[in-house]
């Protein structure tokens, strides 16, 4: 059964990435949404069902908005080509819809809740595979979007991703806010250098996958569990610590590369204020990554009193 859902997800992703027509891209997004719903609701628990409903409603609203914006654009221009998004209203609606699909501020509300209600592996799929089709559509339309709107959303996402992650104790919620923050970086640069946004996305996927798989193998859902996992798997926890520091963007680790290049490119484009803001706001995320990294290396014995 899981194979059917995985194949559907693959089909939806490939269809969206490879299509140049709005209807096909929309179909791919819908196939993707329907393929992931059973995986979120698999654990028969009220939290999982709640997460499934929240995910379904937001994704359905976003898909409907994408269809609406592409129809308005086709009505005005006679074009169904994704790259020919020229109508201002369509651009605005499309930006809102993609922000909702990805979980960008101000449409981020569903992401932490849905990830919290899912298993670690489903949360991994939601954070990586499910973000690829919307990012690819954003890549194709990046030249026609509003730069001011994207810059505001990027800064807001980086700020909120860092700020809201500070007082979280659940690893899935922390990684959800980490995802919002990283998406802010990608949104900031996608207009000026789309290839760089894709590089940042691929590296984010690589690091997030490793983090989720490491947490899954030690069955870590809370920070308190993370504290006692060193004695179970020291090598794995050392790797996890390095990956978390890389996600934080500390040199000389991989995660530093896209951030450095993004800041460099933004400065070249005269967006020094945006570059400075997102660089300073990433210090907020640095705090909770450091906290996770520190907890993962604490040699606390497992609590056996309860």
What pLDDT band is residue 61 in, cutting at 50, 70 and 90?
A: very high
Q: pLDDT, tens digit, for every residue of 78-129?
A: 889 988 898 999 999 999 999 999 999 899 999 999 999 999 999 999 999 9
Q: Which of 100, 127, 154 is the last residue of a domain?
A: 127
For residue 275, the enclosing domain spans 146-306
* Structural domain contains residue 48: yes
Instruction: Give the integer Cα–Cα distance in Å for 152 and 85.
Output: 21
Same domain, 14 and 46: yes
Q: Which of 95, 127, 159 is the last residue of a domain?
A: 127
Closest by CA to 75, choosing from 62, 87, 61, is 87
Residue 302 pLDDT: 60
Instruction: Give the integer Cα–Cα distance in Å for 250 and 245.
Output: 6
* Structural domain contains residue 169: yes
Give buried/exposed letters for 7-46 (b at 16+ CB in 10 A, else e).
Answer: ebbeebbebbbebeebeebbbbbbbbbebbbebbbbeeee
* Structural domain contains residue 217: yes
* Structural domain contains residue 95: yes
* Structural domain contains residue 172: yes
* Structural domain contains residue 132: no
* Structural domain contains residue 141: no
Same domain, 121 and 168: no
Same domain, 78 and 162: no
Phi-psi region of 61 (alpha: psi -120 to 50; beta: other; left: phi over 0): alpha
Same domain, 192 and 258: yes
Closest by CA to 8, choosing from 39, 36, 40, is 36
What pLDDT band is residue 303 in, cutting at 50, 70 and 90?
A: low
Same domain, 167 and 80: no
Q: pLDDT, tens digit, for every residue of 201-246?
A: 999 999 999 999 999 998 889 988 888 888 888 899 999 999 999 9
Same domain, 64 and 22: yes
Rg of the chain taking only CA atoms, in angstroms: 19
At 21, give phi and psi (nearest 5°). -115, 135
Chain centroid to Cα 110, Å, comes to 12
At 81, give phi and psi (nearest 5°). -80, 135
Number of domains in the chain: 2
Reported pTM:
0.93
Same domain, 41 and 114: yes
Tell me the pLDDT of the chain averaged across its residues: 92
How far the first Cα of the chain sits from its last, in Å, is 38
Q: pLDDT, tens digit, for every residue of 26-50?
A: 999 999 999 999 999 988 889 999 9
Instruction: Give the integer Cα–Cα distance in Å for 250 and 21.
Output: 40
Same domain, 101 and 48: yes
Same domain, 101 and 218: no
Residue 306 pLDDT: 46
Same domain, 85 and 121: yes
Q: Which of 127, 154, 174 is the last residue of a domain?
A: 127
* Structural domain contains residue 208: yes
- Higher confidence at residue 302 or residue 69? 69
Instruction: Identify the weakest region by mean pLDDT among 46-60, 74-88, 125-139.
Output: 74-88
Same domain, 97 and 168: no
Same domain, 159 and 283: yes
Decide if pLDDT at 299 tops 80.
no
């Amino acid at each position: 059964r899981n194979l059917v859902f995985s194949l559907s997800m693959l089909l939806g992703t490939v269809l969206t990435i490879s299509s140049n027509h709005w209807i096909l891209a929309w179909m791919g997004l819908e196939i993707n949404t329907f393929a992931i719903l059973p995986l979120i609701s698999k654990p028969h628990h009220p939290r999982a069902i709640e997460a499934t409903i929240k995910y379904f409603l937001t994704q359905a609203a976003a898909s409907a908005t994408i269809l609406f914006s592409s129809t308005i654009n086709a009505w005005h221009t006679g074009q169904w080509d994704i790259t020919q998004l020229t109508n201002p209203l369509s651009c605005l609606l499309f930006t809102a819809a993609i922000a909702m699909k990805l979980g960008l501020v101000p449409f981020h509300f569903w992401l932490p809740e849905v990830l919290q209600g899912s298993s670690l592996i489903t949360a991994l799929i939601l954070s990586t595979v499910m973000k690829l089709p919307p990012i690819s559509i954003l890549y194709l339309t990046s030249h026609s979007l509003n730069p001011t709107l994207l810059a505001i959303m990027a800064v807001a996402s980086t700020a909120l991703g860092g700020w809201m992650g500070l007082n979280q104790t659940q690893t899935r919620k922390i990684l959800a806010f980490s995802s919002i923050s990283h998406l802010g970086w990608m949104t900031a640069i996608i207009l000026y250098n789309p290839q760089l946004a894709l590089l940042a996305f691929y590296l984010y996927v690589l690091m997030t996958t490793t983090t989720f798989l490491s947490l899954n193998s030690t069955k870590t859902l809370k920070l308190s569990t993370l504290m006692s996992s060193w004695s179970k798997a020291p090598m794995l926890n050392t790797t996890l610590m390095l990956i978390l520091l890389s996600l934080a963007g500390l040199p000389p680790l991989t995660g530093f590369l896209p951030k450095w290049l993004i800041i460099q490119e933004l400065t070249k484009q005269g967006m020094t204020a945006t570059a400075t803001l997102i660089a300073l706001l990433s210090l907020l995320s640095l705090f909770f990554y450091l906290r996770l990294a520190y907890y993962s290396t604490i040699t606390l014995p497992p609590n056996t009193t309860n």
